[in-house]
Structure 1
Amino acid sequence: MPLPEKNTIWPPIHPAIRSDMEDWAAWFSANPDRLAYRYLNRHRDNSRFGPPANRPSTYRGGWVGRVARWFWGEPTPLGEKRANLHMPLARDIARTSSDLMYSEPPTLKVTTKATQARLEDLMDLGMKRTLIASGETGSALGGSYLRIVWDDEISDRPWISVVHADGAAPEFAHGDRLRAVTFWTVIESDGQRIVRHLERHEPGVILHAVYEGNELNLGKVRDLAEFRQTENLLPHRDLKIGKRLAVSYVPNTMVAPDWRDIPGAAGLGTSDYQGAEPFLSAIDETYTSWMRDIRLARSRIIVPSSFLVNQGPGMGAAWEDREVYAPMNVPPTSDQQITLNQFAIRHEEHRATIEELVGKVIRNAGYSGGTFGDDSSGPAVTATEIKARNARSMSTRARKTELGATGIADIAEVLLMLEASGMFPGVRGVEVERPDVVFQDSVQDDIKTLAETAALMKQAEAASVETMVALLHPDWDQRDQQAEVDRILKQSGRLVEDPLLLGADRPQFGDDGDGREDESDAETDDEDADAAQ
């Protein structure tokens, strides 16, 4: 389908999906102001524009008030400052998810030397950080898009950028196959007037248009040349990539349990926060209660007002340290002349509650608690012990890398198709080939430990050269490992070439350089054959 017509309702996304993504985006931002604004305005279709809504139900008690607000939706009483604290656990989960996948970037492997060099340049010139950003936003919003872009003023070659899931309207075929997608970017906004740039990807085609409307409506179509951000874009661009898209989608999960009944939402995936939002809110509420205990537990010395020393007209009165005393109208004949008062700080109860809630959020995201712990001060452990402690995190990482490998291979192959099509004159020698995406092992033993293990195995004659090379280089494929074995054997003099296999490289019968076949040549060949036997 083409770009939308004027005065189209926007965005064309199911309200439940839009609402969930806005919730996750607020948690991902780690901004208390944004969280408070979001949960005060959750009934609105779009929470980024317009003043906060005044809902009387949030001030009511009982079940009505509890349903109308969460912790971050509670209004601050008039005349008081907000004391709510926020623990950025949601952002930490997104960052950790990305680190597990892309802290050691994957390797793109092809057979053609020039194409391999191009893919390595692509990774070194920006795709590594693109994948890190894709991993973070995908964890938070349920997925991310990898899009091919090019700009002659910046580079003579295309590159790959990331688009967040809450800025796209996808169309899936057969559940999880991306058939088309429309991205939008807000170019200008003054609160009422909103100018959007729409970029639609269809098989072999990219479409661009600019609309001027309001918060919920695209409005009228404007000329691309009227805005600096779009003046160099063509409304319609045909690409020589067949039925492929110049964009791929990397879902965070293959199943979105809460959206199964929504048409077209099966392939979106879901956030690591899905289902854990009440616990994230409870963590912040517990931290706020903990800090409130600390504020209220300040030491106080209650003394009669008559004990205070008059400082003079207009200067007040004091009794020793003004920071700790509290004057009270205590009768002089009272037995309680000076009273020490300090409330207890329930730190153990708060700490245990927070640890329990944090554990539930982490498990809900599919990770082990040790993945988020600080074990730097403990004794050194091996990679096997680390993997055993973080088995849940490792299985989640393996599942996500399977989804990421497909999306990365798709977009890299299309980029090679564009470069081989002649669109970029400066590109030469690149051939179209689908790369193998190899993710590195996120937890490895140091090379010293591995070398000592290999030396002990060699001393005990308990392992072959092939086994020791595989132990030292587990991230290499079988072909690279075998090449390393051959080099080791050749350098040590243990690589004995089979003379029978060298017959094709030796002079053939009758070929002694004189161009004639004679008896001496035949006798020499017979002697060589007998020696070989």
Structure 2
Amino acid sequence: MPLPDKGIAWPPVHPAVRADMADWSAWLAANPDRLAYRYLNRHRDNARFGPANRPSQYRGGVVGRVSRWFWGEPTPLGEKRANLLMPLARDIARTSSDLLYSEPPSLKVEHSTTQEALEELLNTGFKRTLIAAGETGAALGGSYLRTVWDTDISPMPWIGRVRADAAVPEFAHGEKLRAVTFWTVLEADGQTVVRHLERHEPGFILHGVYEGTEDNLGKPRALTDFAATKDLLPVRQLPPGMEKRILAAYIPNTMDAPDWEDIPGAAGLGTSDFQGAETFLSAIDETYTSWMRDVRLARSRIIVPSGYLQSNGPGAGALWEDREVYAAMNIPPTERQEITLNQFAIRHEEHRATIEELTGKVIRNAGYSGNTFGDDSDGAAVTATEIKARAARSMSTRARKSELAVPGIADIAESWLMLLASGMFPGAPAVEVARPDVEFQDSVQDDIKTLAETAELLRRAEAASTQTLVALTRPDLDETAQRQEVDRILKESGRAVNDPAKTGAEGGGHAGFPSDGGGPGE
């Protein structure tokens, strides 16, 4: 399917999907101005634009309440906005990404040169890409990965990410990405918007530039008219053998989108960690704002009769010691003249309890344990088993998300290998095309002291080999490095077998890996 040849409504995404993603994007940004603008202009048939204040926002009853929320309330004329924002939504998105990608997944193949190329890919930017994709994916329901190249920047292709709200996907059978169109705004002056469209479909990448308006794609422009697109080809055919491949993949945050189940083509998008919790996020901010209002109103005041003030002369006012703490009252001379101390209460316990309750509901709605977001321990050291028990809900969510991420990461890594093997990039390593095994690391590990004590007990009980003990205490090493470490240990202990003809049938093990049932001094 080619790119559009004339102006159409843009983006061609269902209004409900656009509206929800715009809400989630505003919460992720954690910017009070952006969040207030979003809810002042929010309605389901237009995700971003509309009149600044609608009549329904000023109505009483249910219509006005639903229309406004907390962040949608217009600020009265002459007053400054006092709303406070707790960036809990952004914290949830970052925590989700940290649980998945703080220790990046490993990509494993059998071919040594290919394995080295994949490790180089991870070390030269793919790790950072996954961290960013994990954060926006948790907030917007998913994230895209795509393979790109620019020989003026790098001699090799790399894998980047695209936010879910900057793409128009096409899914086969509801969940398999068949094609996708990404767009980027090149220029915008308030009336005219210039967009770059990049479409990925089996065997091809198509590029186009369009000049339109905020909600219309407009007419095509030449790629050479803009610096960002002047070196792109309108149509790029992928190398032989990639006729059914696309250089893009989608990592959904969930496999179900209950709120969009009646929207065609939205079944594979997944949904945000914030979905269903927006009202609670708003209530948290409203409670914090009320708390700070109590703080402002509770400032100490000394109510003083105006006759007690010291005059500064005609037209110069009067004062009584510290101007910051007094409030003058015009009390008639016939009334009782006295100094009154005034201090309003700050309902800090009530506000704190309310915020903790609401925060817990938002975190549970996202699928995490409260322990994941704070240290509720008494300061005593805890083991990895205890940490996992306290954060069982978070670990379950992490396992679910990692399973959803594996196919997309494997797809895009295999496509990247196919590009390297195609001969398009002189100097590329001689890789073999293979679908890598994607393995996520354990995000919670025992400290080295605990691991060493466990290894010592296993050694004394003769219940584990040296290779097993090295794998237990050094999970950060790959299999080759662990084998080398085993060789060094056995050599230093005098238990190494140097006879290459020895296979282990004699009871002594094979070269480099003798049995650990005993040795000198044991």
Q: Structure 1 length normalisation: TM-score?
A: 0.89
Deviations 1:459-508 (A, max 9, x none): 244544455344324577889867866775566455667978599xxxxx
How much has 1:376 moved relative to structure 2?
A: 8.4
8 Å Cα contact 1:304/1:338 also seen in 2: yes
What residue is the counterpart of 1:34 in the other structure? 34
Once residues 447 and 502 of structure 1 are traced to their aligned partners in structure 2, the CA distance between those partners, rounded to angstroms, is 32
Q: Secondary structure at the match of 2:71?
A: helix
Bigger Rg, structure 1 or 2: 1
* Range moving further from structure 2, 492-501 or 75-84: 492-501
What residue is the counterpart of 1:316 in the other structure? 317
Instruction: Look up the equivalent residue of 1:371 and give its one-letter code.
Output: T
Once residues 166 and 500 of structure 1 are traced to their aligned partners in structure 2, the CA distance between those partners, rounded to angstroms, is 62
How much has 1:333 moved relative to structure 2?
A: 3.9
Return 5+ residue gaps in structure 2 as ranges.
506-522
What residue is the counterpart of 1:301 in the other structure? 302
How much has 1:117 moved relative to structure 2?
A: 1.2
Q: Secondary structure at the match of 1:405?
A: helix
Label 1:153 to 1:462 Cα distance change in 2 as closer, same or farther (>3 A). Answer: closer
Residues 1:71 and 2:64 aligned together: no
Aligned-pair Cα RMSD in Å: 2.2
What residue is the counterpart of 2:389 in the other structure? 388
Q: Secondary structure at the match of 1:212?
A: strand
Once residues 440 and 353 of structure 2 are traced to their aligned partners in structure 1, the CA distance between those partners, rounded to angstroms, is 37
Q: Secondary structure at the match of 1:426?
A: coil
Deviations 1:234-282 (A, max 9, x none): 0001102130110000011111111111111111110000000000000
Matched ranges for 1:302-451 at <5 A: 302-335=303-336, 337-374=338-375, 378-451=379-452
How much has 1:445 moved relative to structure 2?
A: 1.0
Matched ranges for 1:188-227 at <5 A: 188-227=187-226
Deviations 1:88-125 (A, max 9, x none): 00001111111111111111111111111111111111
Once residues 378 and 114 of structure 2 are traced to their aligned partners in structure 1, the CA distance between those partners, rounded to angstroms, is 45
8 Å Cα contact 1:303/1:330 also seen in 2: no
Deviations 1:202-242 (A, max 9, x none): 00100011111111111111111111111100000110213
How much has 1:43 moved relative to structure 2?
A: 2.2
Deviations 1:157-186 (A, max 9, x none): 100001000000000001100000000111
Residues 1:254 and 2:255 aligned together: yes
8 Å Cα contact 1:205/1:237 also seen in 2: yes
Once residues 464 and 125 of structure 1 are traced to their aligned partners in structure 2, the CA distance between those partners, rounded to angstroms, is 36
How much has 1:335 moved relative to structure 2?
A: 3.8
What residue is the counterpart of 2:293 in the other structure? 292
Deviations 1:97-155 (A, max 9, x none): 11111111111111111111111111111111111100000001000000000011111
Instruction: Look up the equivalent residue of 2:141 and give its one-letter code.
Output: G
Q: Percent sequence identity over matched residues?
A: 75
8 Å Cα contact 1:46/1:215 also seen in 2: no
What residue is the counterpart of 2:516 in the other structure? none
Return 5+ residue gaps in structure 1 as ranges.
504-533
Once residues 433 and 484 of structure 1 are traced to their aligned partners in structure 2, the CA distance between those partners, rounded to angstroms, is 29
Q: Secondary structure at the match of 1:84?
A: coil
Once residues 316 and 463 of structure 2 are traced to their aligned partners in structure 1, the CA distance between those partners, rounded to angstroms, is 89
How much has 1:62 moved relative to structure 2?
A: 1.9
* Range moving further from structure 2, 116-125 or 350-359: 116-125
Instruction: Look up the equivalent residue of 2:369 and give its one-letter code.
Output: S
Once residues 386 and 200 of structure 1 are traced to their aligned partners in structure 2, the CA distance between those partners, rounded to angstroms, is 45
Q: Secondary structure at the match of 1:9?
A: coil
Label 1:461 to 1:430 Cα distance change in 2 as closer, same or farther (>3 A). Answer: closer
How much has 1:328 moved relative to structure 2?
A: 1.2
What residue is the counterpart of 1:180 in the other structure? 179
Q: Secondary structure at the match of 1:169?
A: strand
Once residues 383 and 47 of structure 2 are traced to their aligned partners in structure 1, the CA distance between those partners, rounded to angstroms, is 48
Q: Secondary structure at the match of 2:271?
A: coil
Once residues 153 and 463 of structure 1 are traced to their aligned partners in structure 2, the CA distance between those partners, rounded to angstroms, is 53
Once residues 469 and 129 of structure 1 are traced to their aligned partners in structure 2, the CA distance between those partners, rounded to angstroms, is 29
What residue is the counterpart of 1:159 in the other structure? 158
The alignment covers a number of residue pairs equal to: 502
Matched ranges for 1:81-100 at <5 A: 81-100=80-99
* Range moving further from structure 2, 416-425 or 445-454: 445-454
* Range moving further from structure 2, 432-441 or 268-277: 432-441
Label 1:194 to 1:44 Cα distance change in 2 as closer, same or farther (>3 A). Answer: farther
Once residues 283 and 502 of structure 1 are traced to their aligned partners in structure 2, the CA distance between those partners, rounded to angstroms, is 66
Q: Secondary structure at the match of 1:267?
A: helix
Once residues 294 and 224 of structure 1 are traced to their aligned partners in structure 2, the CA distance between those partners, rounded to angstroms, is 57
* Range moving further from structure 2, 305-314 or 138-147: 305-314
8 Å Cα contact 1:49/1:191 also seen in 2: no
8 Å Cα contact 1:170/1:181 also seen in 2: yes
Q: Structure 2 length normalisation: TM-score?
A: 0.91
